[in-house]
Amino acid sequence: MERLHQTLHDVLQSIENAAKLAGRPRSVKLLAVSKTRPAEAVRDLASAGQLAFGENYVQEGVAKVQALAGLGLEWHLIGHLQSNKCREVAEHFDWVESVDRAKLVDALDRARPESLPPLNVLVQVNVDGEAGKSGCRPEDVPALADRVAASPRLRLRGLMSIPEPHPDPGHRRDSFRRLKALYDAVAARHPGVDTLSMGMSEDFDLAIAEGSTLVRVGTALFGARGQ
């Protein structure tokens, strides 16, 4: 646990250093990606002060939400969402970062319980147009964002993307830059928008330089899967 706490400190320091270089100190939030990690590992990281966690798989995520209820954690679904899983997600998660089609917007809005605050939503964008990758087309972002914003049980917070894992850092920065331009256009139309989720363990410094406000980090915190 002591090693995990030190690793969290180091990651947070790296994020803050990148934010300072970008001229935006204390502006970037860490989302700890806990997919495939046991609930005990999440509990250990929470004891060090990390409260926001991202899950890729609905059933695995719901099990952790239930097992760790009472810790005040914030849960994000960051993986591909099927429409038949929307009720479970709407009932258990605080954020969904992977909304990429109108069918999901409507299903999540219908399923979000009145007893809970509106579900925070990020529109996922396939910014590089990769075949087989989740995310809407860049040109579809405005209409989808409008649909989320018009849904009473949802709250539009911004955009998310997983750009092509290109070996050239310049290529990745260009992808991040294009997503930031899309985000700025959405934020101009919807003043409540405040979250741009881009950047992971291997490239969050580049993402922060281009405007990210939320980075999704798993491997740098927990080590490679299987460790």
Give the Cβ contact number of residue 215 at 10 Å: 27
In this predicted model, what pLDDT tens digit does every residue of 149-184 receive, in sequence order? 999 999 999 999 999 988 999 999 999 999 999 999
pTM of the complete model beyond 0.85: yes
Q: Is 174 exposed, middle or buried (0-12, 13-18, 19+ CB in 10 A)?
A: middle
pLDDT > 90 fraction of the chain, expressed in percent and rounded: 93
Q: Among all chains, which residue has been given the structure tokens 């509106």?
A: 118
Between strands 119-125 and 154-161, the pairing is: parallel
In this predicted model, what pLDDT tens digit does every residue of 36-90 receive, in sequence order? 999 999 999 999 999 999 999 999 999 999 999 999 999 999 999 999 999 999 9
Report which of 154, 134, 135, 145 is spatially closest to residue 185, judged by C-alpha positions.
145
| Segment (H or E) for 58 | helix 58-67
34, 79 contact by CB (below 8 A): no
Give all domains of the chain, ordered by start, each with its CATH number: 2-222 (3.20.20.10)
